[in-house]
Amino acid sequence: MKNQKILSPDNNYLSLDKYFLEQNVKQLLLICGKFISSLKIGAYFKNLNKRMGITVVQFDDFLSNPTYEDVIKAVHTFQKKPYEMIVAVGGGSAIDLAKCVKLFSKIKDGNYLQQNFQPVNIPLLAIPTTAGTGSEATKYAVIYYQGVKQSITDNNCIPNAVLLDASLLNTLPIYQRKSTLMDAFCHALESFWSINSTRESKIYSQKALKLILKYGEGYLKNQDLDNSQILIASNLSGKAINITQTTAGHALCYKLTSMFGLSHGHAAAICVLEVWKYMSKNLNNCIDIRGQDYLKNILVEIAKIMSCQGIAESLNFFEQILKNLELEFKIYPDDSKMKELVSSVNTERLKNTPVYLSKKDIYNIYSNILK
């Protein structure tokens, strides 16, 4: 991936001051939630004009799952003034919206989604307030157009710089902590076994998994050191999926969120577990060109990273994590809902999965997840 500058929050964000000076920023567009006023980083941006003469225009008029209409409003805001930088403070929604503003900033008329992206040199700085999405490290953005999820992919989406500030995680509710932790965990797992995995992506995944296993418990207790390490783990898992994309676990999870109101990370975790079980029992259906033995070795390698004696133990270990986090989920949908779930699955993501999955297989996996 392109070289991304990682900034530290030390000394009252001195690295941010230096970065803005290096980039000769006079005016920036800040895309964030209204909650920013309660954060230390919010005070930093509020005083930026007084301290450094940098004008900050705040855009916070968007939904938690940004729509195409939100993008239009943000782009129009950007086009009104000569900004030298876009800054996103928030979770995946704010960062994804900022990515779209950058991509679409030169388009004047027409449907943004139906036009070619034009190269944009304006720097994008991401400051994540959750540790899980990894959006600050990827070329992907998600918005909703007429109620349908749209995945946007372009290397221009990758933020030029990232500030990893553990203090921004202090106010996270416990369910969101659990969910985002599992999202990062699932990103690392899926990237590791993806058919697109490379030596580089597996290094990112392995480092992320080890950090999550070591610091996850302290993170759930809101301990400063552990918060900072999980932020790093999330960034690493983001870098991993930026190379490989996600697999069936994520392909199956999206509809669970909209249908049953589960958080994204919660839905991803219960789906990844069942896909993992399916893969371990159906290695003969391997579609990775590196072969069935390679896939088996990958699953064994994951078990070793988790300090488990074999694939079965690693599955039990992950299942126990979900039980301990109280992230299990059982419901009994009727057949029409089951068919709706199956039809919702993005087949492109299934192609990244190392075993073949038919519609019947997907139906059975959903049955195991929900029943």
Q: What is the pLDDT of residues 2-42, one digit of tens each?
A: 688 999 999 999 999 999 999 999 999 999 998 999 999 99
Q: What is the pLDDT of residue 159?
A: 96
Share above pLDDT 70 across residues of the chain, in percent, rounded to a whole number? 99
Average pLDDT of the residues in 149-178: 93
Mean per-residue pLDDT of the chain: 94
Q: What is the pLDDT of residue 254?
A: 87
104 touches 112 (CB < 8 A): yes
Where, residue-wise, is CATH 1.20.1090.10 in the chain? 174-370
> Confidence band (pLDDT; 50, 70, 90) for 150?
confident
Q: Of 106 and 299, which is predicted with more confidence?
A: 299
Nearest CA to 47 out of 55, 35, 38, 59 is that of 55
C-alpha pair distances (Å), 309 with each of 50, 151, 272, 315, 329:
59, 38, 20, 11, 27
> Which residues does residue 7 pair with via DSSP β-bridges, in sequence order?
163
Task: Dump pLDDT digits (tens) for 89-125.
Answer: 999 899 999 999 999 888 877 777 777 777 788 999 9
pTM for the model stands at 0.93
Fold of the CATH domain 174-370: Dehydroquinate synthase-like, alpha domain (1.20.1090)
69 touches 105 (CB < 8 A): no
List all residues 6 or more positions away from 364 whose beta carbon is below 8 Å from its beta carbon. Answer: none
What does the block give as tokens for 316?
Answer: 């039990």
Sheet holding 85-90, edge to edge: 5-7, 161-163, 124-128, 85-90, 27-32, 55-59
Q: Is the pLDDT of residue 1 over 60?
A: no
Cα dihedral 102→59→268→215 (10° resolution)? 100
Average pLDDT of the residues in 168-184: 95
> Confidence band (pLDDT; 50, 70, 90) for 143?
confident
Task: Dump pLDDT digits (tens) for 306-359.
Answer: 999 999 999 999 999 999 999 988 888 888 999 999 998 988 889 999 999 999
Residue 90 gets the label, from left (phi > 0), alpha (psi -120 to 50) or beta, of left
Q: Is the pLDDT of residue 174 over 70?
A: yes
Q: What is the pLDDT of residue 197?
A: 98
Q: What is the pLDDT of residue 115?
A: 75
How do 55-59 and 27-32 pair as beta strands? parallel
Where, residue-wise, is CATH 3.40.50.1970 in the chain? 5-169
Interatomic CA distance for residues 318 and 182, integer angstroms: 10
Task: Dump pLDDT digits (tens) for 224-267.
Answer: 999 999 999 999 999 999 999 999 999 999 889 888 989 999 99
Q: What is the 3-state secondary structure (H, E, C) of the chain?
A: CCCCEEECCHHHHHHHHHHHHHCCCCEEEEEECHHHHHCHHHHHHHCHHHHHCCEEEEECCCCCCCEHHHHHHHHHHHHCCCCCEEEEEECHHHHHHHHHHHHHCCCCCCCHHHCCCCCCCCCEEEEECCCCCCHHHCCEEEEEECCEEEEEECHHHCCCEEECCHHHHCCCCHHHHHHHHHHHHHHHHHHHHCCCCCHHHHHHHHHHHHHHHHHHHHHHCCCHHHHHHHHHHHHHHHHHHHHHCCCHHHHHHHHHHHHHCCCHHHHHHHHHHHHHHHHHHCHHHECCCCCHHHHHHHHHHHHHHCCCCCHHHHHHHHHHHHHHCCCCCCCCCCHHHHHHHHHHCCHHHHCCCCECCCHHHHHHHHHHHHC
φ/ψ of residue 145, rounded to 5 = -115, 115
* CATH 3.40.50.620 matches 5-169: no
Flag the least confident range among 4-8, 92-96, 137-141, 148-152.
148-152
